[in-house]
Structure 1
Amino acid sequence: MNETLVTVVGNVATEPESQVTATGVQFTRFRLATATRRFDAERGAWTDGPTSFYTVRAWRTLAGNVKESVGLGQPLLVQGRLRIREDEKDGRRYHSAEIEAVAVGHDLTRGVARFTRTPQPLSVPAAERAAPAPPLPEPVPVS
C-alpha cells in the first residue's frame, strides 16, 4: 500500500505517556507544537506565527524508545502518517491532527545527542547475537 508520510519539526509540548492496549501492545503518546518563524522587517525582529499542535502516537519498540529518550520541551523531528480527526462536543465541531509515528529523532540543529542502540529482539538466537563480526578481507596491494 502506498502511504504518504509527513515530517514535522517542533517541540515536545506534553510529557510522553506510555500505555498498553488490551491486546498487550505498548504505545506512547505526546503532543508536538510547531510554529513558523518569520522576520518582521518593520520591527526588525523575528516573530512567531500561529502554533499548530499534533498528537503523536508511537507503537511497540518505538514507543519504548520514545518514552526513554524524549522529554518535555525537547526539539524533535517526527515522521509518520497524518490523520485529521473531526469530533463533536456540546454541539461544536473540533478538528485534531494526529501522527502515527514511523520515526522520531532529536533536531540536531538545536543541540547534540548520543545514540545508544537497544538490545536486539529476543527472536534472534543468542548464538547469532553473540557471534563476532566476520574479519575484514586483507587489502590487496596495488602495483
Structure 2
Amino acid sequence: MNETMVTIVGNVATKPVFRETPSGPMVRFRLAMTSRFFDRAAQNWRDGHTNFFTVWAWRSLAANVASSVSVGEPLLVRGRLKVRSEERGGQSWTSADIEALAVGHDLSRGTSAFRRTSRVTVEPGAMAERQDPSGQPDAGSQLPDNEPQFELPAPAAVREPEPAA
C-alpha cells in the first residue's frame, strides 16, 4: 500500500462536525495552513499562501477530537493525504483531504490538559483497582484483571549535601 503520509501544522478553520455513522463515530473539520517567509527587503516575516485541508477522523479519535478541538486552535495532524478532483454542475475543483491517524494541540503555541478516556468495556466484577505510584487507589479508574499493571520505580532517595568540615 503506497499511501502518502503527511504531518500538517495549522489552525482549525471550521467547527468540528460530529456524526454517528453505521461504521462508527466520525468527525470532520477544515484546517488552515499558512506558510510564512522572511522578506529580506522589508526585513520582516510575511504570510504566504494559505492551504485548506478537510480532516476526517473516525471511531475513538473522532469522539476525542469533537470534545477537545475548537475553531482557531493550533493543531498538528498526522494522516493519509487524499487529493480528489471532482466535477459537478459544470464546475470542477480539487480538494485535499487528510484521514487523520493522530491529532494534537501544537504545544509550541500554548498549553493543553490531557484526560485519558476509557478504552475497554469489561464485565462487572472483572476489575482491579489501579493504584498511583504512592500505592493509593486511583479513584474511579480501574483496569481489567488480565491487563498488565506496571509499577513506577520508587524515586531515588534525595540526599542532603554534607556540611563542609
The normalised TM-score by structure 1 is: 0.85
Cα distance change, pair 91–119 in 1 and its aligned pair in 2 (3 A): same
Task: State the identity as a percent.
Answer: 51
Q: Distance in 1 between matches of 2:84 and 2:123?
A: 39
Cα distance change, pair 122–89 in 1 and its aligned pair in 2 (3 A): same
Q: What's the CA shift for 1:135?
A: 5.2
Task: In structure 2, give the amino acid aligned to 1:34.
Answer: M
Q: Distance in 2 between matches of 1:51 and 1:80?
A: 19
Is 2:55 the partner of 1:34? Answer: no
Is the 8 Å Cα contact of residues 12 and 72 (structure 2) preserved in structure 1?
yes
Cα distance change, pair 2–95 in 1 and its aligned pair in 2 (3 A): closer
Higher relative contact order (CA 8 A, sep 6+): 1
Residue in structure 2 matched with residue 15 of structure 1 by the alignment: 15
Which whole-Å deviations, capped at 9, do the CAs of 1:38-91 have from their partners, x for residues lacking one?
A: 011111211111100000000000000000110000000000011001111332
Residue in structure 1 matched with residue 112 of structure 2 by the alignment: 113
Is the 8 Å Cα contact of residues 122 and 144 (structure 2) preserved in structure 1?
no
The normalised TM-score by structure 2 is: 0.74
Q: Secondary structure at the match of 2:50?
A: strand
Stretches of structure 1 that go unaligned for 5 or more consecutive residues are 139-143
Task: In structure 2, give the amino acid aligned to 1:98.
Answer: D
Residue in structure 1 matched with residue 5 of structure 2 by the alignment: 5
Residue in structure 2 matched with residue 98 of structure 1 by the alignment: 97
Q: CA RMSD in A?
A: 2.4
Task: In structure 2, give the amino acid aligned to 1:94.
Answer: W
Structure with the higher helix share, 1 or 2: 1
Task: In structure 2, give the amino acid aligned to 1:120.
Answer: R
Residue in structure 2 matched with residue 83 of structure 1 by the alignment: 82
Q: What's the CA shift for 1:120?
A: 2.7
Cα distance change, pair 89–3 in 1 and its aligned pair in 2 (3 A): closer
Q: Secondary structure at the match of 2:127?
A: helix
Task: In structure 2, give the amino acid aligned to 1:55.
Answer: T
Stretches of structure 2 that go unaligned for 5 or more consecutive residues are 129-142, 155-165
Which is further off, 53-62 or 111-120? Answer: 111-120
Q: Distance in 1 between matches of 2:7 and 2:43?
A: 30
Is 2:50 the partner of 1:54? Answer: no
4+ residue runs of structure 1 moved beyond 2 angstroms?
1-4, 123-126, 130-138
Task: In structure 2, give the amino acid aligned to 1:38.
Answer: F
Q: Secondary structure at the match of 2:65?
A: helix
